[in-house]
Structures are given as C-alpha cells and as structure tokens.
Amino acid sequence: MKSCCFLTLLVILNTTLVAQRLVEREIIINPMFTELPSAQRDSLCWMSSVAAWGGFGHYAVGDREHAWYQKLGVLIELFRLGEQASFSFESDIEFIANDRNNIRFNPCALIWEEGFMYTRRFNQSFLQIGYFHRCKHDVDNLSEGYERSLIFGGLLFKYILPVTKPSTHQWSYLALRTEIYTLRQDLRVPDKFMELNPNFEQLLGTVALNLNNRKSLSRHFGVYLNAYGSLNFFGLNDGFFDRFNSLQTVNFNGGVSTGFAIQGGAHFRIGLNVEYFSDNMIDPFPKSSLLLSFGILIIDPKAML
C-alpha cells in the first residue's frame, strides 16, 4: 500500500497543468476485471454482464456554481469472447447544482456521455478502443443571462495495467488514456464570450492518467486512494483538417479522492475529493475551479476500481 501511495503522489506532483470534465474521471471501468467461470472462458456470451455506479455529494469548498453533485453510470457488456475480448456500451451523467435559491439547491449544469468500447485482454493488462459522445448542457442558467453548451466527442484509446499483482485483498491499477476529438462545439451566451480562449472548438486531444488503489482491511471494510490527471491540447484553428498545424495552449484537470468502503457485492464508499478544473465548463467563459467535496460513491467491484 505504501508503494501505491507513493505512485499516487507522483501522479499529482508531476501533473502540473489539468481540461474537459469527464463524468467517470475518478474510476477505472473495465468489464473484464472479473474472470468468467471456467465453462465460459472459451465461448461467446451475449449480454454477458451489467454494472452500474452512482454518487452524491456536497462541495464544502468551491465557487458560486458548485454546491452539490450527483453522478450515475451504467456499463452493458453486449458480448464477450471468453477471456479474450469484450464489446460494451457505457453511459454516464453528472448533475451539478449551486445554492442560489430558497432551498439552496439550484440545478445549473448537466454533463452527459455515452459510447461503445472494445476491450482486449493481454495477460493482466487491457487495451480499450472506443468512440464516446460527450456534451454539457445548462439548466435554467439562461434566466440569469448566460448559457454555455458544449459537445466534444471522439476516439478513445486506453491501456490498463496492474501496478501490483491483483489479489483478493489489494488492487492497484494504472490507466493511460488518450482521446482525439472529431466533434467539437462551444456555444456561449452572450456572444461576447465567444472571443475568450481556450475554446472547445479548438480542442485537439487529451492525454490522461488514472492511478486507482483499494485495499481490504477485513471482509466487509476497506480503504481506497484514487488520483487522476489530464493534459488537454488546444490549437489555434477550429477547422477539422488544419487544426493540428499549431498549438495554442495546454490545460490541466486533476484530482485525488480517498476514504473508506463498506464492501460486499457492491462497494459503498464514503470519502473526500479534491479536484482542480482549468475550465469548469459551467460559466459562460473558461474559468478555473478548485473544489473540495465529501460524498458517497457506490460501484460494482467486478467492473470498476
């Protein structure tokens, strides 16, 4: 566990720049984490598994747009070829609320993503290739005179490998991810904010890293420590073919989450989260946010870490 903590610190200390806000940023999703029964390891299985996750929490330290959050996600394994490969559908959503109304719970943003993903096993490592559509929509913000709608969909490449040998008591995995965006939109109201950079229509791609660790202290209790960071590259051009001719800026998003878990068929986590967004995607112009939240997270340990 000490080596896992040290590697987690290295991720944070070496990622000095952090971009777009992914819903599943704090967890590693892989339908092939759990091996099939021996009788099915060489067969083709259809609709072989379903896994879900969800969380809710409060921002104790943040800005005027962040007071509460809620997250939900589902992974449907459409088919699986033994222990060799898997093809799945994933959909995730993040709901954000501020406290600017009489009940101090005012919905302001919705981030949604869905896509298809192919997973291939290589011994204890995994390669994932897919296409994900991601978007962000405002909730009731136009009544306050501003609005921002975002679309950033593209190709996903991810490589997942163990940091330590997986066991029933301790798991530690590293995930390296890159995305190349084919669909980009950044609409802002009022129009004067369209001139401010960076603009998602100039978003080139992302390189990201996750380091997730969990350790069982007993049969039903454990601890976890997760870290992530992403570098997001923006060009000077917003055209499709000439966008890679120049580099305007590189932005960073990152975070650390830790706490304890009640473990069974699902893991019920209670913990703290520290996150930094160079662009929180809620304000009508790029604005950074440093956030501290506490909340709960429920995951399926057979497909998530």
Supply the pLDDT for residue 15: 35
Q: For 76-96, what is the mean pLDDT? A: 94
Q: Which residues of 206-217 are buried (b: 16+ CB within 10 A; e: fewer)?
A: bebbbbbbbbbe
Structure tokens at 188: 């802002």
Instruction: Output 269 or 106, whichever has higher pLDDT.
Output: 269
d(CA 135, CA 133): 7
> In terms of pLDDT, which residue wins out, 30 or 42?
30
Q: Read off the pTM.
A: 0.87
Q: What is the DSSP letter of 71?
A: E
| Confidence (pLDDT) at 211 | 96
Of 3.40.630.20, 3.40.50.970, 2.130.10.10, 2.40.160.40, the CATH number of 2-299 is 2.40.160.40
Residue 240: what pLDDT? 67
Angle at 248 between CA 183 and CA 176, to 5 degrees: 60
Please give the pLDDT value at position 18: 37
pLDDT in tens, 109-156: 999 999 999 999 998 899 999 999 999 998 877 677 888 999 999 999
Question: CB atoms < 10 A from the CB of 26, how many?
Answer: 20
Higher pLDDT, 123 or 294: 294
Q: Which of 74, 145, 76, 68 is nearest to 110 (CA)?
A: 68
Distance CA 231, CA 251 (A): 6
Please tell me the predicted confidence (pLDDT) of residue 7.
41
Q: Which amino acid does the sequence have at 240?
A: F
Return the half-sphere exposure (C-beta side, CA atoms, 13 A cut-off) of residue 105: 7
Q: How far apart are CA 194 and CA 266, in angstroms?
A: 44
Cβ neighbour number for residue 164 with a 10 Å cutoff: 14
- Average pLDDT of span 184-202: 89
pLDDT at residue 39, rounded to an integer = 54
